[in-house]
């Protein structure tokens, strides 16, 4: 087959576009997933968290989170017996690589994994000027990257510090509850990587989900309840000093 | 040390930069200048007449620049038009485009056009070449300047100013609401915010017009109308007293209530914000100008002294109001929403949101004003507008 120079010049870019599509792969379809049948959230059992940082690393890998920013992170609280309201908190590199040991000085130490609370009345959704941030019918607060104008009002409005501006895409970013995974029947990357089961993806609309029993029998709280954001990440045995 | 105590990791870098400081500052000047102009039009404060047109042109020059810092700050400026096409109705920010357009098109441009219509028609007849073409365009095809037509202009202009006052209040009160409605941030979250923003806007706008009037009169080698500057300065003084009282009320309330955020905010005011808040905003930018202006009210001072006092007080007011915007916008991001730590604002120079673009955006309205003044001379003495035998420019 003879290919003229002209034909070659036409074929090359076409081939490049085709190759790019092949490399990107086809997104997996999830034909059996019905959004209205779910209401996702997460349960965090503080007593079980060992601060290993597996969840932070798994999230960063799974979601290509830029260095220095976090969709999830782990905090270490130290609450002294004498100053309950003013804990000392650290989270070196978001707890990604675990925590250095600290000298025993009395008081209590515990880890608190943090993640977007997927609030039912989320302030970030309320303030987005173009509606790029929205709540999906299955209870996950998502961002349309193709629509976000990068004004950062949502970052200011989030009381939990869960949002950041991705320096590459210049759009707002945060935890999606691994939406690409949970709609295919998988759990989130952080839950999967957690060695102690401190994080569990829960579906409040599923009557068989053990979360219902758990909520009935444990002391469960959400972060900053006074702000009435409808936060949906439930913390078991949450200390009053946690912000 | 950039971070002290504990910040949520995504909070270390500030989301809103100096450009967002400029935005309420510039919008405030617009609202303030317009409200000063409306004093003459609606409330018939005749002594401020020499500043009337200058105030309108100042408002326009700053209004044209107001959206630029926002635009430059956006991650995707090319998508900003979506705010018009698909505004999210629950978002305070989404309404900016509409409030802005309303104010620009329905209030300011219309009022300026009506007020200048007679001059534009006269200029389109007396000039030549391109200038003539330009002024003829500005007439929008209406060259009727009969007494009856001018009377209608005057009446419509009055109605527009009456509508314009609440619009100016809305424009800037709304900017305050953008901050005041963020419940996540105790430094911002306050129903006082729109009111404080509005009054400080009025003070800064009046100060800007006062300075521009004094400078331009001096520059043109004319005599400053002391009755005018005395009145403008008096309004500035009274508005400033209200503004200061409101800010102090907010402060006292915060100190007395001392809620969970107080320790954190108090620490910030005593450390990272001490210079910009206590020294620049409160001492240099508020107490000193209020004291200076009080002197002019309490004692009979000579003309030269009063002029100097107004010039100094006006400049300090602008510095103080800029510092106020800085302390709100930047200050509101220096502490963690965990109330456990503090970060630092690092400002670049030649960067997209650096100092250089900020300076350029601050100077740009003055360049625009210079062009506007050349095209539509606002001077009460009618300089370079028409033969001396004709009536003053703003005869109505």
Structural domain contains residue B389: no
Structural domain contains residue B394: no
Q: How confident is the model at residue B382 (pLDDT cuts 50, 70, 90)?
A: low
Strand partners, B335: B342
Decide if A173 touches B, using CB distance below 8 A: no
Structural domain contains residue B149: yes
Structural domain contains residue B30: yes
Structural domain contains residue B390: no
Percentage of residues in chain B with pLDDT exceeding 90? 89
Give the gap in angstroms from C-alpha B339 to the nearest C-alpha of chain A.
Answer: 8
- Identify which of B9, B16, B83 has the shortest CB distance to residue A152: B16
Decide if B6 touches A, using CB distance below 8 A: yes
Does pLDDT of B392 surpass 70?
Answer: no
* Rounded distance between C-alpha atoms, residue A125 and residue B144, angstroms: 52
Q: Which residue of A has its CA nearest to B93?
A: A129
> Domain range holding B143?
4-375
* Residue-wise DSSP of A37-99: G--EEEEEEGGG-----HHHHHHHHHHTPPTT--SEEEEEEEE-TT-TTS-EEE-GGGGTT--
The label of the residue with tokens 């998988």 reads: A186
Percentage of residues in chain B with pLDDT exceeding 70? 96
Does pLDDT of B387 surpass 50?
Answer: no
In three-state secondary structure terms, B193 is helix
Stretch B172-182: mean pLDDT, rounded? 93
Strand partners, A172: A165
Q: What is the pLDDT along chain A (243 residues), one digit of tens a residue?
A: 788 888 888 888 888 888 877 877 766 678 889 999 999 999 999 999 999 999 999 999 999 999 999 999 999 999 999 988 899 999 999 999 999 998 888 899 999 999 999 999 999 999 999 999 999 999 999 999 999 999 999 999 999 999 999 999 999 999 999 999 999 999 999 999 999 999 999 999 999 999 999 999 999 999 999 999 999 999 999 999 999
What is the CATH number for B68?
1.20.1630.10
- Asked if residues B284 and B319 have their Cβ atoms less than 8 Å apart, the reply is yes
Does pLDDT of B252 surpass 50?
Answer: yes
Structural domain contains residue B387: no
CB distance B75–A130 less than 8 Å?
no
Residues 109-168 of A with CB under 8 A from B: 114, 123, 125-131, 147-153, 155-165
**Interval B191-227: pLDDT, tens:** 999 999 999 999 999 999 999 999 999 999 999 999 9
Does pLDDT of B140 surpass 80?
Answer: yes
**Interval B57-80: pLDDT, tens:** 999 999 999 999 999 999 999 999
Structural domain contains residue B359: yes
Residues 328-387 of B with CB under 8 A from A: 332-333, 336-340
Structural domain contains residue B393: no
Residues in B closer than 8 angstroms to A68, CB to CB, are: 9
* Rounded distance between C-alpha atoms, residue A55 and residue B28, angstroms: 47
pLDDT at B394: 43
Q: How confident is the model at residue B1 (pLDDT cuts 50, 70, 90)?
A: low
Decide if B82 touches A, using CB distance below 8 A: yes
- Identify which of A69, A130, A171 has the shortest CB distance to residue B10: A69
Domains (range + CATH), chain A: 37-236 (3.30.70.20)
* Residue-wise DSSP of A190-222: HHHH-SS--EEEEETT-TT-THHHHHHHS-EE-
CB distance A114–B8 less than 8 Å?
yes
Return the number of other C-beta atoms located less than 10 Å from residue B258's C-beta. Answer: 11
CB distance A156–B16 less than 8 Å?
yes
Tally of domains within chain B: 1
Does pLDDT of B7 surpass 60?
Answer: yes
* Residue-wise DSSP of B120-167: HHHHHHH--HHHHHHHHHHTTT-----HHHHHHHHHHHHHHHHHHHHH
Give the gap in angstroms from C-alpha A61 to the nearest C-alpha of chain B.
Answer: 18
DSSP state of B224: P
Nearest to A76 by CA among A42, A100, A56, A54: A100
B382, with CB counted inside 10 A (0-12, 13-18, 19+), is middle
pLDDT at A26: 67
Give the angle subtended at the CA of B124 by the CAs of B121 and B128, to the nearest 5°.
165
Decide if B70 touches A, using CB distance below 8 A: yes
- Identify which of B10, B82, B338 has the shortest CB distance to residue A162: B10
pLDDT at B383: 54
Residues in B closer than 8 angstroms to A150, CB to CB, are: 74-76, 79
């Amino acid at each position: 087959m003879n290919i003229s120079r002209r034909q070659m010049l036409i074929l090359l870019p076409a081939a490049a576009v085709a190759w790019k599509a092949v490399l990107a792969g086809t997104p997996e379809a999830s034909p059996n997933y019905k959004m209205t049948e779910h209401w996702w959230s997460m349960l965090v059992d503080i007593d079980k968290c060992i601060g290993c940082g597996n969840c932070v690393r798994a999230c960063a890998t799974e979601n290509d989170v830029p260095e220095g920013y976090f969709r999830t992170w782990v905090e270490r609280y130290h609450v002294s017996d004498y100053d309950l309201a003013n804990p000392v908190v650290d989270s070196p590199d978001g707890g990604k690589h675990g925590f250095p040991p600290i000298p025993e000085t009395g008081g209590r130490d515990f880890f608190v994994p943090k993640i977007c609370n997927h609030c039912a009345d989320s302030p970030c959704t309320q303030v987005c000027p173009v509606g790029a941030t929205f709540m999906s019918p299955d209870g996950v607060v998502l961002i349309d990257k193709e629509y976000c104008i990068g004004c950062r009002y949502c970052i200011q409005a989030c009381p939990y510090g869960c949002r950041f501006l991705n320096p590459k895409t210049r759009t707002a970013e945060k935890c999606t509850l691994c939406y690409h995974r949970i709609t295919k029947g998988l759990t989130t990357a952080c839950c999967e990587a957690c060695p102690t089961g401190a994080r569990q993806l829960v579906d409040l609309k599923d009557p068989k989900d053990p979360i219902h029993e758990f909520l009935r029998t444990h002391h469960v709280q959400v972060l900053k309840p006074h702000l009435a954001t409808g936060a949906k990440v439930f913390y078991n045995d949450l200390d009053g000093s946690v912000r | 040390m950039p971070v002290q105590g504990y910040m949520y990791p995504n909070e270390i870098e500030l989301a809103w930069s100096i450009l967002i400081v400029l935005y309420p500052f510039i919008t405030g000047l617009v609202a303030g200048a317009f409200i000063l102009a409306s004093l003459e039009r609606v409330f018939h404060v005749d002594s401020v007449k020499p500043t009337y047109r200058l105030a309108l042109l100042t408002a326009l020059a700053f209004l044209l620049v107001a959206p630029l810092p926002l635009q430059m700050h956006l991650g995707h400026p090319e998508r900003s038009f979506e705010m018009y096409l698909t505004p999210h109705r629950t978002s305070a920010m989404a309404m900016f485009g509409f409030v802005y357009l309303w104010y620009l098109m329905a209030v300011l441009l219309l009022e300026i056009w009506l007020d200048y219509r007679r001059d534009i028609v006269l200029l389109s007849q007396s000039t030549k070449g391109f200038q003539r073409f330009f002024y003829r365009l500005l007439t929008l095809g209406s060259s009727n300047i009969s007494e009856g037509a001018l009377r209608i202009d005057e009446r419509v202009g009055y109605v527009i100013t009456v509508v314009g006052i609440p619009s100016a209040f809305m424009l800037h009160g709304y900017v305050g609401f953008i901050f005041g409605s963020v419940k996540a941030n105790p430094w911002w979250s306050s129903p006082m915010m729109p009111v404080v923003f509005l009054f400080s806007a009025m003070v800064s706008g009046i100060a800007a017009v006062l300075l521009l009037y004094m400078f331009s009169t001096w520059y043109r080698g004319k005599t400053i109308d002391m009755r005018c500057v005395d009145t403008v300065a008096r309004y500035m003084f009274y508005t400033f007293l209200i503004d200061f009282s409101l800010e102090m009320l907010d402060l006292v309330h915060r100190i007395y209530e001392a809620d969970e955020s107080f320790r954190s905010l108090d620490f910030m005011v005593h450390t990272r914000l001490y210079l910009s808040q206590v020294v620049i905003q409160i001492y240099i930018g508020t107490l000193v100008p209020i004291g200076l202006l009080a002197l002019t009210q309490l004692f009979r001072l000579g003309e030269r002294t009063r002029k100097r006092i107004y010039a100094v007080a006006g400049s300090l007011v602008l510095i103080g109001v800029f510092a106020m915007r800085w302390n709100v916008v930047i200050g509101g991001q220096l502490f963690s929403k965990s109330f456990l730590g503090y970060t630092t604002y690092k400002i670049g120079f030649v960067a997209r949101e650096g100092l250089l673009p900020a300076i350029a955006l601050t100077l740009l309205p003055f360049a625009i004003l210079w062009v506007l003044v050349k095209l539509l001379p606002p001077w009460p003495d009618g300089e370079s507008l028409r033969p001396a035998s004709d009536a003053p420019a703003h005869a109505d």
